[in-house]
Structure 1
Amino acid sequence: MTQILVSVMTIIFVNVQILPTDAKIVEGSVWAPNSNFHFLSRFCFQEGNDATLEYEIRYPESFCLRGENGIYQSGCQKLVLYYDEKDQWDFVYKNDKVECQDKLDPNLLHYSQIINLDPMKHEPGEEIDSLYKYSMFVSGCWLTKREDTNASEIACRAKRNFLSQRDRWWFVALVNCETDKGLKLDYFHLEFKNGDSYNKHFSVDEWYIMETTFVLLYLFIILLIACIVFTIKLKNMGFYHITFKLFTLSLLLKVISYLLYAWAYLKYRTGYESIRIKNLALGFSMLAHIFLIFLVILMAKGYTITRAKLSTKGTFKVMLFIIIFTLIYFVSFVYHVNVFDPGEVLYFYESPPGYTTLGLQILSSFMISYGVFFTVKRYPEKLKFYLPFYVFYSAWILVTPIFAIFSIFVLQDFYRQKIVYGVEGGLSFLSYGFFLILTFPTRANKNFPYHIKTNQIDILEITETGNFPHDPDGQSESSYASSAASGETVTVSVSSRSAETNFIDVFRVDYDMVDPNNRRE
């Protein structure tokens, strides 16, 4: 299992390294030889008239056709601005039934939504800034020469203001229906702004995500500090089991993911967002979730709580599920990084991998229910721990798909991302915090799950079943742990059968050898 996770993490790093850098200041080039329609970027502008798009573009003059009189007409490339209505972007994007000319239908688009990138007259010596000053009414393009090859090219620099009655998604596409040469931009720079505030480069659907990220980061750092304190106490008490180690690893990965998210969103304030950093953060977050699901399933089956090892059949089922779970999450990550189309899908759970991960979440809840049922049936004295454990974690696992469905069908597209991000982060914080409450190493905690120490598990693992003895005299697990820590001598009998003989191994654990200060307080 460890080797699989290491391999997955390695591939995540490789995928992250080959990703391009994208942002709300979008820069790059385009070469689409067999296309006359190419999606460039999208942005959710705020309500009002403070939203702007500034662009700079350079492309070869040969991609702008002249008319018979030598004047550039409609044969030049165009920037076309579509908004989020069914008869606009949804109608034209990846719709093979719509001809190219229909995507520029004047009955569909307002005249200001089409920016003809044809050069206007540029007098020698005229300052480019003077052209830019009046570019709200023109394309802001002029004919010039490349400095490296002296080839003719068309350069454009202009700005557009957006007036909207509500928060609205806008999609920018490059279009040219008059040529079969395809589309080409040697360079383009698109800068989207929502006003002039500190978060002006954030799309409306991303407002407050940076603030939410820092709040969650601080909260998870507090949990990590508490986890370190618990680790020290549990080690001294002898209850630092592998399940708590899994929890610590998962929590550490979660903190790393939020550190990376915080870094990415701080860079975003300048307009440049590193998709590499955000996807690396997503990879760490996915691994943290996988470890947490693995931990919850193991504890549901009683591992380190009522048994030292799972049965062969149980081990096979758990490992098979976790391997499938990990692979599906890995495929989802690769899909999100390399296939996910922001022009077509605005929400991860609207994609095939998203549906698959939701299905796995629901399946994991059944595995937890199955494991808890039989564990409590064999060890009814553990009901004090498993009742809150089951109620919380089964609800936590099912809330994610329920909320995802709610988000898809109820929430507006321009509110969805920030709401989902905050809710999922909050639920994640609760899942880690509740585990620390259940394992709080104090005498007052009646839900403390462990009653067998780590040195006893090593011996129990060699038995046939690996099951722990019940609490002596039917006492609760916490009272057993307290008596053990108080220096009493406890005798534990373990029965084991071999293929040839039946015998009883009795081993004695003398707690007088244990430091009396190492007790659960």
Structure 2
Amino acid sequence: NWVFLTRFCFLSQDGVFEYDVSYPKSYGPQNFLLYFDSVYQWPAVYKTSKTCDERHKILDNDNNQIISLTNFTTQIKSTHASGCGEYREKYDNNTVWYRCTHYRKFHSYRERWWFIALDNCRSTQGLRLRYKITMTNNVNDGWLRHFSADEFYILHTDLIFTILYYALFIASCFEAYILHTDLIFTILYYALFIASCFEACMQWSPKHIPRDHLI
């Protein structure tokens, strides 16, 4: 009844956690749990023998670390922030589902790791959730926006090395042409050239990234 979903290192003032989730009302109420990297929070619950209730009670809802994914709760602040409503899911025998769409901003005195979990400690049938989560930093910088703070400048580095690689590939193609015209295109260079072509094709091959997940 408790499961870890994802993690992200947010900047101290620029972190945004957005979600678009849906699940059958019969599985509710489910909650997003937002743990940070304090020794008294995430390390105290992950891979421990604590029960679902014990992991839930570690969080303080006054800090908005619990998002109740339902349109009814005794905690008005949590209800307002969850952005939930009911609808009938035609692909599930027209049963009533919750859909919740909203966001949270993170403010702290330093960069922090945040760990997102899901729970429903009263459920007798486990958890069920269709979800899409977007976590961003530095919303004004498109180069860094979707990167965790510990991964900043990875894109820049990858682009530089990709450009250098293709420059080397073009040079090897030119050299292969020269060697071929001079009839000194050796088997060793041919093998290296084929390996270079294969690597270039791998760089351009599309990689499938799922748009949402189901648990």
Regarding TM over 0.5, the answer is yes
Deviation at 1:211, TM superposition (A): 2.6
TM-score (norm 1): 0.35
**Superposed displacement of residue 135, structure 1:** 7.1
Give the counterpart letter for 2:134 in structure 1.
E
Among 110, 118, 131, the residue aligned to 2:60: 110
State the distance in 2 between where 1:243 and 1:113 align: 60
Identical amino acids, percent of aligned pairs: 33
Once residues 51 and 57 of structure 1 are traced to their aligned partners in structure 2, the CA distance between those partners, rounded to angstroms, is: 20
CA pair 104-240 structure 1, distance change in 2 beyond 3 A: same
The alpha carbon displacement at 1:55 in A equals 1.8
Cα distance in 2 for partners of 1:119, 1:206 equals 36
Whether 1:63 aligns to 2:27 is yes
Distance 1:85 1:259, change over 3 A: farther
Q: 1:223 aligns with which of 158, 162, 168?
A: 168
Are 1:184 and 2:128 an aligned pair? yes
Tell me the CA shift for residue 159 of structure 1: 1.8
CA contact (8 A) 2:15 2:138 kept: yes
Q: What RMSD in Å do the two structures reach over aligned CA positions?
A: 2.7
Note if contact 1:217-1:255 (Cα within 8 Å) is conserved in structure 2. no
Higher strand share: 2
**Other structure's SS at 1:229 match:** helix
Structure with larger Rg: 1
Residue 314 of structure 1 corresponds to: none
**Among candidates 186, 194, 201, match of residue 241 of structure 1:** 186
1:140 is aligned to 2:83: yes
In structure 1, which of residues 20, 40, 49 is the aligned counterpart of residue 5 of structure 2? Answer: 40
Conservation of the 8 A alpha-carbon contact between 1:59 and 1:155: yes
Deviation at 1:140? 2.6
1:162 deviation in Å?
0.5
Partner Cα distance (2:117, 2:171) in 1:
50
Q: Is the 8 A contact 1:57 1:156 kept in 2?
A: yes
Higher relative contact order by CA 8 Å / sep ≥ 6: 1 or 2?
A: 2
The unaligned stretches of length 5 or more in structure 1 are 1-35, 65-75, 122-133, 265-273, 277-521
Structure 1 residue 184: deviation in Å?
A: 1.1
Q: Distance in 2 between matches of 1:89 and 1:160?
A: 19
Aligned residue pairs: how many? 201
Q: Who is 1:165 aligned against?
A: 109
Hey, what's the Cα distance between the residues in 2 that align with 1:176 and 1:188?
A: 16
SS at match of 1:81: strand
Larger fraction in helix: 1
Matches for 1:443-462 after TM superposition, within 5 Å: none
Post-superposition CA distance 1:346-395 (Å, at most 9, x none): xxxxxxxxxxxxxxxxxxxxxxxxxxxxxxxxxxxxxxxxxxxxxxxxxx
Change (3 A) 1:244 1:104: same
AA matched with 1:60: P
Cα deviation for residue 239 of structure 1 reads: 3.6
Q: Report the residue type matching 1:110 in the other structure.
A: D
1:216–1:154 distance in 2 versus 1, CA, 3 Å: same
